[in-house]
Chains A and B, each alone.
Chain A
């Protein structure tokens, strides 16, 4: 069913992603799928990396670490942007095409009133792609 799972990750908030990551691993094993970890980062220095290239390096290291955990083939891709907060949805949609993902699995928060004006990234990506999207609710 699924050959290539794309997983958007933010290395700055890794701790909140843990539950989602294990679901990704389970599903990837079940379908024997390739996993691509994707990040959108600022092209200015951030708390994770001082250059987009350093971020790439760290994401690749993260992907390899995950590979050791679940054993599925992995790759990583970083998009750097002038305004990552505003462009993340568009860049993730672009990533789905470039990566050739047939399933996107991403962590998202619980529904809230603010979503009316600022929809969640997961919700927004799901409305703009042909790929399947699996949103994993994070416990509060």
Chain B
């Protein structure tokens, strides 16, 4: 096999650096990974950290936690105002950008660039399809599907049927069938192609610039085509610090809020005392399992837990399909795909929307949310995707999970709507978001078992977020190194748990989460740059045979 890189005349490959597996086009840079790192051996612990990114991130994190705890009443409205401004005034920007991501990804699937392989033309995948898919799904949205699978379709159905101002596309007042179609289309819109395209853009750009171009696995590397060597300086530091901020606070606040929701489930099902102690024990438990998982590593920890998760989730899904309204779900799957396709142009229209509450309060909120999660999910997906072709990658990261989302939403949301509309059961609709899933399951046989499985799923989904998130934060704060000493990963997992507990006790979880989601705005700009970088990077790659 010819291992000589085929160079672009203007982008010479460093002399003496062989390409990855088979032809690829390395970027020529003098930057040595870890050159700005501080290494120390304090108290028997080896540390290897990017001096500026680690210390500034740590200071900012501490500052925000202290500020939020101390000045909660003052600062929460400020966070809310920032986020309100972003979704209110820039909804069009989020919606437009997300459309660009979807179009780019679909375009790449069908273009000849789709043949390019991540890691070089001869690279072999590190994981099986099952292991790979489990990890990207568990990291991507697992937990949200548990809570919003029932809640969101029901909520949209309610607002569409009642003709409220929050209805998607002005709703379908009094028409149950049309309201259901609209509700399912809107839900799938928020959980389908768009979020996965957002993740795919980040993941593909990072994978490409790390595995094929030889740059560190860090957000800043994506900016290389735009900023050149300047990415190793302050512009790069700022991008990486922002990624740490979004990931850490996104994970910590979700962990805190998730513990509240899981505790509500435990109280409802088993009468566990609804106290801070229950929630703190949950957070500690989740963090401990996550630590075990990250010490065991990506293959033996994260992958194993993700597989367990996906198997449990599939069992729950097929159980509900089997004992729930099976025929309705089977036909509903195709109907909902059709509804999604029919309503997609109107739902994704960024301009002149008349359903401002929906497009700003729901869609823009979701897009900011997914985008703020994208550095973490994207970087994790990138790390496990070596050896896949661009086409295989995009089909697996975008089309397959979107299809699973449609099936999941049809099953859980469709069953809940059916219980409400056909059977007149109002309990599901009236319950809080953290209990709706359990009340829906209660209407089906063996609810004690399925509810228990659901609780376990919620907890394990949190573990898989916490462990992969800690790996990502560790690699960013170690200057893109994935082989930094293990105690550093443990440190980040503990910090996540500690922030979650501090905010749970002191208040401010929702406030800080709002701030974390606000990072969706700068990241949207970063993702747009990533789109440019992907095209430029792929164009300079030799095609796989």
Is A46 a contact partner of B44 (Cβ separation < 8 A)?
no
Residue from B44, B214, B300, B383 in contact with A45 in the complex, judged by beta carbons closer than 8 Å: B214
- Let me know if B252 is at the binding interface, CB within 8 A: no
Binds A, one of B17-25, B241-249, B393-401, B446-454: B17-25
Taking a contact as CB atoms under 8 Å apart, the answer to whether B18 and A51 are in contact is: yes
Determine if B480 is an interface residue (Cβ-Cβ < 8 Å).
Answer: yes
> Within the complex, what minimum Cβ distance (angstroms) separates A16 from chain B?
10
Q: Are B482 and A83 touching (Cβ within 8 A)?
A: yes
Determine how close the nearest CB of chain B comes to the CB of A97; give it in whole angstroms: 18
Whether B386 and A82, one on each chain, are in contact in the complex, defined by CB atoms closer than 8 angstroms, is yes
Interface size band for A: 20 to 34
Specify which chain B residues have a CB less than 8 angstroms from the CB of A113 in the assembled complex: 44
Q: Please state if A41 and B17 are interface contacts (CB–CB under 8 Å).
A: no
Q: B interface, how many residues as a size bin?
A: 35 or more
A44 touches B297 (CB 8 A): no
Cβ 8 A contact of A53, one of B21, B298, B487: B21
In the complex, the chain A residue whose C-beta lies closest to that of B26 is A50
A14 contacts the other chain (CB 8 A): no
Contact A86 B298 (CB under 8 A): yes
Cβ of A118 within 8 Å of any chain B Cβ, yes or no, is yes
A87 within 8 A of B: yes
- Contact present for A52 and B20 (CB under 8 Å): yes
The 7 closest A-B pairs by CB, nearest first: A86-B297, A50-B214, A47-B34, A53-B18, A83-B298, A83-B297, A112-B44
Complex Cα distance, B210 from A77, in Å, reads 23
B33 within 8 A of A: yes
Cβ < 8 Å to A, chain B residues 17-41: 17-21, 26, 32-35, 37
> Across the interface, do A87 and B126 meet the contact criterion of CB distance under 8 Å?
no
Tell me if B516 is interfacial: C-beta within 8 Å of chain A: no
Contacts of B20 in A (CB 8 A): 51-53
Q: Are B383 and A87 in contact (CB under 8 A)?
A: no
Are B119's CB and A46's CB within 8 A?
Answer: no
- Asked if B545 CB lies within 8 Å of chain A CBs, one says no
Closest B residue to A86 using CB positions: B297
Min C-beta distance of A130 to chain B, whole Å: 22
Cβ-based interface call for B255 (8 A): no
Q: How far is the CA of A118 from the CA of B21 in the complex (A)?
A: 33
**Is A114 part of the binding interface, using a Cβ–Cβ cutoff of 8 Å?**
yes
Contact A86 B296 (CB under 8 A): yes
Residue of A nearest to B33 (CB): A47
Interface residues of A in 91-117 (CB under 8 A from B): 112-114, 117
Partner of B299, one of A45, A54, A86, A117: A86
With A51-B19, A83-B299, A86-B486 known, 20 other A-B pairs at CB within 8 A are: A42-B483, A43-B211, A44-B217, A46-B34, A47-B32, A49-B17, A50-B26, A50-B214, A51-B26, A53-B20, A57-B18, A82-B126, A82-B298, A82-B383, A82-B384, A83-B471, A85-B483, A87-B297, A114-B44, A114-B487
Chain B interfacial positions (CB closer than 8 Å to A): 3, 14, 16-21, 26, 32-35, 37, 44-45, 119-120, 126-127, 210-211, 214-217, 294-301, 383-384, 386, 471, 480-487
Q: Is the CB of A51 within 8 A of B32?
A: no
29 interchain pairs (CB within 8 A)?
A43-B119, A44-B217, A44-B383, A45-B214, A45-B480, A47-B34, A47-B481, A50-B14, A50-B26, A50-B33, A50-B214, A51-B19, A53-B18, A53-B19, A53-B20, A53-B21, A57-B16, A82-B384, A82-B386, A85-B297, A85-B483, A86-B297, A86-B298, A86-B300, A86-B486, A87-B297, A87-B300, A114-B44, A114-B45
CB pair A53–B3 under 8 Å, yes or no, is: yes
User: Chain A residues with Cβ under 8 A from B386's Cβ?
Assistant: 43, 82
Q: Which B residues are CB-close (under 8 A) to A85?
A: 297, 482-486
Query: Is A84 part of the binding interface, using a Cβ–Cβ cutoff of 8 Å?
Result: yes
Given A42-B483, A112-B44, A114-B45; A54-B34 close (CB under 8 Å): no
Distance (whole angstroms) from the CB of A50 to the closest CB of chain B: 3
Residues of A within 8 Å of B119, CB to CB, are 43
In the complex where A82-B384, A85-B484, A114-B44 touch, is A46 in contact with B33 (Cβ < 8 A)? yes
Rounded to whole Å, the gap between the CB of B122 and the closest CB of chain A is 10
Output the least CB separation between A48 and chain B (Å). Answer: 9
In the complex, which residues of chain B have a beta carbon less than 8 angstroms from the beta carbon of A45?
Answer: 33, 210, 214-217, 480
**Could you say which residues of chain B place their CB within 8 Å of the CB of A118?**
295, 486-487
On whether the beta carbons of A41 and B44 are closer than 8 Å, the reply is no
Q: For the complex, what is the distance from the CA of A113 to the CA of B465, rounded to whole Å?
A: 29
How far is the CB of B391 from the nearest CB of chain A, in Å? 21
Alpha-carbon separation in the docked complex, A44 to B214 (Å): 8
Q: Which residues of A contact B295 (CB under 8 A)?
A: 86, 117-118
List of B residues within 8 angstroms of A51 by Cβ? 17-20, 26, 120, 214
Q: How far is the CA of A110 from the CA of B215 in the complex (A)?
A: 35
* A114–B485 alpha-carbon span in the complex (Å): 13
Report the minimum CB–CB distance from A2 to chain B (whole Å). 30
Please give, as numbers and ranges, the residues of chain B lying within 8 Å of A54 by CB-CB distance: 16-18
Residues of chain A within 8 A of B487, CB atoms compared = 114, 118
What are the residues of chain A within 8 A of B34 when measuring CB–CB? Answer: 46-47
- Cα-based distance from A65 to B301 in the complex (angstroms): 38
For the complex, give the distance between the alpha carbons of A50 and B37 in Å: 17
CB-CB contacts below 8 Å: A20-54 with B:
41-47, 49-54
Which residues between 43 and 80 of chain A lie within 8 Å of chain B, taking CB atoms? 43-47, 49-54, 56-57
B383 cross-chain contacts in A, Cβ below 8 A:
44, 82
Q: How far is the CB of B52 from chain A (nearest CB, A)?
A: 17
Residue among B127, B471, B483 having the largest count of chain A Cβ atoms under 10 Å: B483
A70 to chain B, nearest CB (A): 26
Complex contacts, B482 vs chain A, CB 8 Å: 42, 44, 82-85
Chain A neighbourhood of B481, CB < 8 A: 42, 46-47
Shortest C-beta distance, B77 to chain A (Å), equals 42
A87 to B127, CA, bound (A): 14
Is A44 in contact with B210, judged by CB distance below 8 angstroms? yes
Smallest Cβ distance from B491 to chain A, in angstroms? 13
State the CA gap A108–B111 with chains docked (Å).
51
Roughly how many angstroms separate A53 CA and B20 CA in the complex, as a whole number?
Answer: 6
When distances are taken between beta carbons in the complex, the residues of chain A under 8 Å from B296 are: 86
Chain B residues closer than 8 Å to A49, beta-carbon distance? 17
